[in-house]
Amino acid sequence: MLKADPNLWNLITGLLTGLVFGFLLQRGAVTRFRTIVGQFLWTDHTVLRTMLTAVVVGSIGVYAMHQLWDVPLHLKSATLLANALGGLIFGIGMAVLGYCPGTGVGAMGEGSRHAIFGVLGMLTGAALYAEVYPWVKATILPVGDLGKTTLAVQTGLSPWIIILVLAAAAGALFAILACRGHCSHHRAEPRLSPR
């Protein structure tokens, strides 16, 4: 019943990719409860900095390879109600657990014991979803189904324009967050010192 992919290349490259991914996530400290909850409390911006940098850097290479060498994209269907509703449930769970699926597995690797219970919960959540899938497929997935589409296709703009806007927006956000860190220190200190 449990088949393995006979293509050994897939298994080896998957393992290598995971090793690098796990190493990077752990070094970036996003495998920590404090980092993830801190992001949602808006006191630690490691998660946004990591994700937005990955997205901008990744997009440049992937779109270049797609246009130059026909490297295929792997888009997921825009089933808008399901994407939004799933995101809401995911976000609530992530704030309570303090990990997402990948960082939860990484957290187990760096010694988090409560992450083990999180992963057990994830397995339960996956099994629950499998039970309700026929109902979800019939009622939720068809609502707002745009198919496998991108912001470039929807707006009619070149993907490069969107990547440029995204990079500029990410850069601006990083600058604002960095400045606010300094500014709040400078502002807080004189007010506290007279006491």
Partner 1 sequence: MLNLLNRSRWSPYVVGAGIGILSWITFGLMHKALGTSTSFVSAAGAIESLVAPDHVRANEYFVKTFLGEGKFFLDWQMMLVIGLFLGALISARLGRSYHVEKVPELWASRFGPGRARRYAAAFLGGVLVLFGARLADGCTSGHGISGGLQLAVSSWTFFISFFAAGLITAMLVYGKAGRRHAQG
Q: Which of residues 65-84 bind partner 1 (CB under 8 A)?
A: 65-66, 69, 71-80, 82-84
Question: Least distance (Å) from partner 1 to the CB of residue 115?
Answer: 7
Which residues 114-133 are close enough to bind partner 1 by CB under 8 A? 114-115, 117-131, 133
For residue 136, state whether it binds partner 1 (rule: CB under 8 A).
Answer: yes
Contact 130, 151 (CB under 8 A): no
Question: Least distance (Å) from partner 1 to the CB of residue 183?
Answer: 15
160: CB partners within 8 A, 6+ apart: 63
Phi, psi of 110 (to 5 degrees): -95, 10
Which residues 174-193 are close enough to bind partner 1 by CB under 8 A? none
Question: Least distance (Å) from partner 1 to the CB of residue 194?
Answer: 21
Phi, psi of 181 (to 5 degrees): -60, -50
For residue 4, state whether it binds partner 1 (rule: CB under 8 A).
Answer: yes
DSSP SS3 for 142? coil
Distance CA 33, CA 94 (A): 10
